[in-house]
Amino acid sequence: MPATGPAASKLGGLFDHVTLRASDRAASTRFYELVLDTLGVEKHDGDGWTAWGPHEFFVLEDPGAVTGRLHIAFTAPTREHVHGFWNAGTEAGYASDGEPGTRPRYGETYYGSFLLDPDGNSAEAVHHDSVRTHGCIDHMWLRVADVEASTRFYETIAPQAGLSVRRKTDARTQIVGETGSFSLVSGDEPTENVHIAFPARDNATVEEFHRVATAAGYRDNGGPGEREYHAGYYAAFVLDPDGNNIEVVTHNRG
C-alpha cells in the first residue's frame, strides 16, 4: 500500500517521505505533535493522515500492519532543543530510550535524546555539526534479517533512488544522500511495515527503478503510474528483503 498524502518534491535530501503505520493514529499523532513541536517542526493534517515538516514524515493508522522496531531521528537546531524534546516527552509520561547527552561513538559533536513512541519505535532528537537544515528527518536505523541481502537490494536501486551505499562492517551498512542517511543493522527482529519514498527527477527514473528492481527478483508492490495523492504524482513501489515498502516518486510540479 503506498503512502498517503501530498508529499512535495524534496530533491537534494535523501527522503521524499517516510510513512509510519500506527496501531492508533490519534495516540501516535499526540506523541509526535508534542515532541516535534519542541523542534519547531510544522504539522499538517489530512484525510486519514498527519504529516510533519515539508510533508516528509507521515503517520497513518493501520492496526493490521503496524510499523515496529524503527529508529527515526529528527533534526534538533541546538542541544537545548534536544533537552526540550526529551523533557516534553518524559513529562507527558512517554518512556525514555536514552537521556540527553553526547554519543561519541557516532561522532565528536553528536548530541541526542531518545523516547519510545506508543508502538515502541525509538524517536530521537539529534544535533551535530552536519545536522540537516532541510527537512525534519536526520537519519533512520532499520534492523534487517540479513545485512548482506539488504545491502544488495539498496545497491541495486541506488542509481535510480539517488543513494550512496557504504558497507561499514559485517553488521552495518550506511546509505546516504546529499543530506540525511539511514543505516541497515543486523537484528534478530527486523524493522517492519515502514514505508520509505525516495525522490526522482522524472517519470523515466521511476520506471527504471521498478524495471531494475523487479528484474533482479525483488517483489513488485505497484507498477509505475499516476497516483491519486495529487496531480502529477508518479511513483512505483517494490518490497525490500524484509517486506518494507520502498517507493521512488516524482511530483511533476514544474
| Confidence band for 245, pLDDT divided at 50, 70 and 90 | very high
Of all residues in the chain, what percent carry a pLDDT higher than 70?
95
Report the mean per-residue pLDDT for the chain: 93
Q: Minimum mean pLDDT among 68-72, 151-155, 163-167: which range? A: 163-167
Distance (Å, rounded) from C-alpha 54 to C-alpha 10?
Answer: 8
With 50 as the cut, is the pLDDT of residue 2 above it? no
pLDDT of res. 254: 58
Tell whether the torsion through CA atoms of 97, 83, 176 and 136 is positive or negative. Answer: positive
Query: Residue 166 carries which side chain, given as an amino acid letter?
Result: R
Q: Taking the CB of residue 92, how many other CB atoms lie within 10 A of it?
A: 12
Of all residues in the chain, what percent carry a pLDDT higher than 90?
87
21-41 as b/e: b if 16+ CB within 10 A: bbbebeebbebbebbbebbeb
With 50 as the cut, is the pLDDT of residue 50 above it? yes
- As a three-state string, the secondary structure of 121-189 is CEEEEEECCCCCCCCCEEEEEEEECCHHHHHHHHHHHHHHHCCEEEEEECCEEEEECCCCEEEEEECCC
CATH architecture of structural domain 17-138+192-250: Roll (3.10)
Q: Which residue has the higher pLDDT, 240 or 133?
A: 240
With 80 as the cut, is the pLDDT of residue 134 above it? no
Instruction: Please report where in the chains the cell 484525510 appears, as a residue.
Output: 47
Query: Residue 106 carries which side chain, given as an amino acid letter?
Result: Y
| Confidence band for 25, pLDDT divided at 50, 70 and 90 | very high
| Confidence band for 248, pLDDT divided at 50, 70 and 90 | very high
pTM equals 0.93
Tell whether the torsion through CA atoms of 134, 17, 52 and 95 is positive or negative. Answer: negative
140-177 as b/e: b if 16+ CB within 10 A: bbbbbeebeebbebbebbeebbbbebeeeeeebbbbbb
pLDDT of res. 13: 74
Distance (Å, rounded) from C-alpha 15 to C-alpha 24?
Answer: 24
pLDDT of res. 144: 98
Domain segments of the chain as ranges:
17-138+192-250
- In the three-class reduction of DSSP (H, G, I as helix; E, B as strand; rest coil), residue 91 is classed as helix
Distance (Å, rounded) from C-alpha 27 to C-alpha 186?
Answer: 29
With 70 as the cut, is the pLDDT of residue 10 above it? no
Question: What pLDDT, in 10s, does the model give residues 168-214?
Answer: 888 999 999 877 889 999 999 999 999 999 999 999 999 999 999 99
Distance (Å, rounded) from C-alpha 194 to C-alpha 212?
Answer: 22
Instruction: List, in sequence order, the alpha helices (H) in 38-142.
Output: 79-91
Distance (Å, rounded) from C-alpha 102 to C-alpha 139?
Answer: 17
Distance (Å, rounded) from C-alpha 30 to C-alpha 215?
Answer: 42
pLDDT of res. 167: 86
